[in-house]
Amino acid sequence: MEFIKTLIKNRKLVLQLGKNDFKNKFASTSLGAVWGFIQPFVFMFTYVIVFQFILKTESSGDYPFIVWYLPGLAMWQIINDSVINGSNSIRNYSYLVKKVVFPVDIIPIISLTSSFIVGIFLLVIATSVSVIFGYLPNVLLLVYMIFAALCFIISLVRFTSAVTTLVPDFSNLVSVVMQLMFWFTPIMWNVSQLAEYDILAKIVKSMPFSYLVTGFRQVFIAEDIITKDNYIYTIIFWLVTVLIYIWGNSVFKRNKKDFADVL
């Protein structure tokens, strides 16, 4: 609860520093922050062209591939950028850590705020494309999935940022794991392809990354991994998220007094 109180107390500072962080990444370029939106936009639609028109990948149902694919990819990019940037945040903001009065707990959230600026843009693109094809979002499910993503990312980054600060090599491990998760998460492929491997399919569905990607995809299509017969995956997701938060919070609190010494 101490972390949550600190975050609420410093919410304005987090938003301001988050916006500054996003602008500073592209401060030396002519187009400035515009590059922050161009790069992920080109990345998303390059994958659409490759997988739909070249590799002939199909959606999991009677939906246009782009409606099935874009929301899942948008959610993944948010998770990936947030985790990688958040994990390195304390080292990137080492000058703030050494200020005695600065609340170190909010530093990873500053990076998450910066990542979510682009993330919101990607969600708007995915939503707009889906609406153009006639698939309107379930607003309540949309709000829920964004909330779930925030909770999971904050919980995970609470742990990874603390460990990366103490052990710099850990950031490389995080990058490798996220690359692996990109392919093990059903973003480019369908879970239905694992129909012959029931246990493996259940393991994949139980992964938090799969839950968020599939859940946001289902904001626009008539499938349901959240409730009904699949409610068990919602229970697993929140159980894992809570356990990661408790673990990460413990690691962060126990070691934050040493951050200034190792930076």
Host domain of residue 146: 10-262
Instruction: For the chain, give the mean pLDDT.
Output: 82
Contact between 207 and 137 under an 8 Å Cβ cutoff? The reply is no
pLDDT (0 to 100) of residue 36: 66
CA distance linking residue 161 with residue 158, whole number of Å: 6
Flag whether 202 is in a domain.
yes
Between 262 and 235, whose confidence is greater?
A: 235
Flag whether 170 is in a domain.
yes
Flag whether 91 is in a domain.
yes
Residue 255 CA from chain centroid, whole number: 25
Return all residues near 114 (Cβ < 8 A) that are at least 6 apart. 18, 19, 21, 22, 25, 85
pLDDT (0 to 100) of residue 232: 86
> How many separate domains does the chain show?
1
Is the pLDDT at 40 greater than 90? The verdict is no
Instruction: State if pTM tops 0.85.
Output: yes
Between 106 and 44, whose confidence is greater?
A: 106
Flag whether 249 is in a domain.
yes
Is the pLDDT at 12 greater than 90? The verdict is no
Looking from the CA of 220 toward its CB, the CA atoms found within 13 Å total 30
Flag whether 2 is in a domain.
no
SS3 state of residue 13? helix
Flag whether 114 is in a domain.
yes
Flag whether 182 is in a domain.
yes
Segment 112-127 shows an average pLDDT of 84
CA distance linking residue 150 with residue 157, whole number of Å: 10
Is the pLDDT at 224 greater than 70? The verdict is no
pLDDT (0 to 100) of residue 202: 85
Flag whether 83 is in a domain.
yes
Return all residues near 188 (Cβ < 8 A) that are at least 6 apart. 47, 51, 57, 69
Is the pLDDT at 22 greater than 90? The verdict is no
Buried-state track 12-34, b at ≥16 Cβ within 10 A, e below 16: eebeebbeebbeeebeeeeeebe
